């Protein structure tokens, strides 16, 4: 990938020529030697053991300071993003580190610390604010719609960090590291020049300055530039490989959960049947949703006003109204993404335990699957990975079968990240994610699921939804009566 601002060889050649001309015009090597002489001297130094001992010593110390700053900066940024007080506590410290000159830090540090490890401390302090601020910004700028998606589908915190936060923070982190490596070397070597620890590049620069060895001074400077670039490229290569590995979804375990239409008895809880006996659930359950006086306002505008309605269990229901009348707001309240100002929503699950018997319990928050108005997919993942993200027990074959049912059966498309999909294709992927994530008897909320689909594709998709949601409680959000009729809606709440 081309990057703006990358160094071009012709530009380097131009500046080397200007340097050569300036050296010839000045004609005083004590002030400026030619680039040829500086490079030649660098080559002479590079074959000595003293050169490599100094390089190794400086590299280890500066790298330690840099890596410590990266580790601490990332941890503090994460804590600051989560806790406001942590952010407020460290804000003055970061400001002071940015504002105080490097020389002042070095002199103050020499009073308390040995010069041997001074470059570790100075590199750490100079790099820390850059890493901290960039990572904090990346976390703060993470797409809130994707975080809501993770909340609705109950992604584990580890998955949310790995598949949502990590890719969104990565560009900020990479940019910070790219800048910070050069800062670490400049600050670290400056600390060595003042502290002059044995076996360091700074000590060699200090010696070259004392004896007015300009060629040595420039040769060591060339070495610093090359080491800085080497460390930058190496560290970013490791970061890129680690990031790519972490973003990759784990392999499926081979179970085809799409065909599992019965509630798993091992994971079911005990409920009391109609005759009072304690019975383990062994067959499917359906959830009804009861709205009681639900009211919601934004500022002075009342969006929902005393809504009372029951969405029967195991039925296809709809909420219908013109655009802007609160359909999506009510969906968000049902999904648990917002709370009503007044009234409440209760969920009642009816379990069919045996012939002629039943058990009714109230749930605080049943599992809900949602097709949002926006697709809210992870762009870097394929369609199959987006779907399996919320249900990793699905096999790849099960996902492909479901995709083919809604017209997503082109093998070349299956392998593409969804960022390369059309709007209609991403809409179907979003719908499949909701359908394949839901357990039998749970709640599926579909907010305008057919947006962007042509008539033929819509017909296929409607049939697939009807097949996949048998016995489930479905709420369709739409302003189109034809869509409700096609899906076989039995109960409609008009807002």
Q: Is the pLDDT of residue 288 over 80?
A: yes
Q: For residues 83 and 168, is the Cβ–Cβ distance under 8 A?
A: no
Among 70-79, 100-109, 218-227, 444-453, the range scoring the smallest mean pLDDT is: 100-109
All structural domains of the chain: 9-247 (1.10.3720.10), 267-494 (3.40.50.300)
Biggest CA pair distance of the chain = 106
CA 341 to chain centre: 32
State the chain's mean pLDDT as an integer: 84
**Confidence category of residue 430, pLDDT binned at 50, 70, 90:** very high
Q: Is the pLDDT of residue 16 over 90?
A: no
Among 261-265, 305-309, 366-370, the range scoring the smallest mean pLDDT is: 261-265
Residue 446 has a pLDDT of 94
> What is the C-alpha separation between 11 and 50, in angstroms, rounded?
33
> What is the C-alpha separation between 308 and 107, in angstroms, rounded?
72
Residue 260 has a pLDDT of 39
**Confidence category of residue 265, pLDDT binned at 50, 70, 90:** very low
Tell me the C-alpha to C-alpha distance, in Å, between residue 272 and each of 173, 183, 280, 361.
Answer: 53, 67, 9, 9
**Residue 119: beta bridge partners?**
none
Q: Which of 20-34, 194-208, 347-361 has the highest mean pLDDT?
A: 194-208
**Confidence category of residue 351, pLDDT binned at 50, 70, 90:** low
Indicate the Cα dihedral angle 317, 320, 325, 327, nearest 10°: 30
Residue listed under structure tokens 């009804």: 288
H helices present in 361-480, as ranges:
383-389, 396-405, 411-414, 423-437, 455-468
């Amino acid at each position: 990938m081309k990057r703006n601002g990358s160094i071009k060889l012709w530009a380097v050649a131009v500046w080397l020529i200007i340097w050569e001309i300036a050296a010839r015009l000045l004609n005083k090597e004590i002030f400026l030697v030619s680039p040829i002489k500086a490079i030649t001297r660098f080559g002479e130094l590079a074959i000595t053991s003293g050169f490599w001992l100094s390089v190794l010593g400086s590299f280890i110390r500066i790298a330690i300071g840099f890596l410590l700053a990266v580790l601490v900066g990332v941890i503090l940024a994460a804590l600051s993003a989560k806790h406001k007080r942590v952010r407020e506590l460290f804000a003055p410290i970061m400001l002071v580190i940015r504002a105080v000159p490097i020389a002042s830090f070095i002199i103050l540090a020499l009073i308390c610390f040995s010069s041997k490890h001074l470059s570790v401390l100075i590199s750490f302090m100079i790099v820390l604010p850059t890493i901290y601020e960039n990572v904090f910004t990346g976390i703060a700028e993470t797409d809130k719609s994707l975080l809501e998606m993770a909340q609705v589908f109950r992604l584990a915190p580890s998955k949310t960090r790995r598949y949502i936060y990590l890719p969104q923070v990565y560009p900020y982190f990479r940019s910070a590291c790219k800048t910070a490596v050069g800062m670490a070397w400049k600050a670290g070597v400056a600390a060595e020049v003042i502290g002059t620890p044995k076996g360091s590049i700074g000590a060699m620069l200090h010696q070259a300055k004392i004896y007015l060895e300009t060629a040595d001074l420039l040769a060591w400077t060339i070495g610093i530039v090359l080491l800085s670039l080497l460390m930058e490229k190496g560290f970013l290569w490791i970061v890129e490989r680690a990031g790519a590995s972490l973003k990759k979804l784990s392999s499926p375990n081979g179970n085809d959960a799409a065909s599992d239409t019965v509630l798993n008895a091992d994971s079911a809880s005990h409920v009391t049947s109609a005759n009072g006996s304690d019975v383990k659930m062994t067959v499917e359950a359906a959830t009804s949703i009861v709205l009681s006086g639900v009211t919601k306002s934004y500022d002075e505008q009342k969006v929902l006003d005393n809504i009372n309605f029951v969405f029967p269990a195991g039925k296809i229901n709809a909420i219908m109204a013109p655009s802007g009348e609160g359909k999506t707001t009510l969906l968000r309240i049902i999904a648990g993404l917002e709370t009503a100002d007044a009234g409440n929503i209760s969920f009642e699950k009816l379990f069919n335990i045996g012939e002629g018997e039943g058990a009714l319990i109230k749930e605080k928050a049943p599992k809900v699957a949602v097709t949002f108005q926006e697709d809210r997919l992870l762009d870097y993942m394929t369609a199959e990975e987006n779907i399996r993200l919320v249900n990793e027990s699905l096999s790849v074959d099960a996902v492909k079968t479901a995709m083919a049912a809604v017209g997503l059966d082109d093998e070349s498309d299956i392998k593409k990240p969804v960022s390369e999909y059309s709007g209609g294709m991403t809409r179907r992927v979003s719908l499949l994610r909701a359908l394949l994530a839901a357990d039998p008897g749970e709640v599926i909320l579909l907010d305008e699921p057919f947006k962007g689909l042509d008539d033929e594709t819509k017909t296929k998709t409607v049939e697939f939804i009807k097949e996949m949601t048998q016995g489930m409680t479905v709420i369709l959000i739409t302003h189109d009566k034809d869509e409700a009729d096609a899906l076989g809606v039995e109960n409609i709440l008009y807002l």
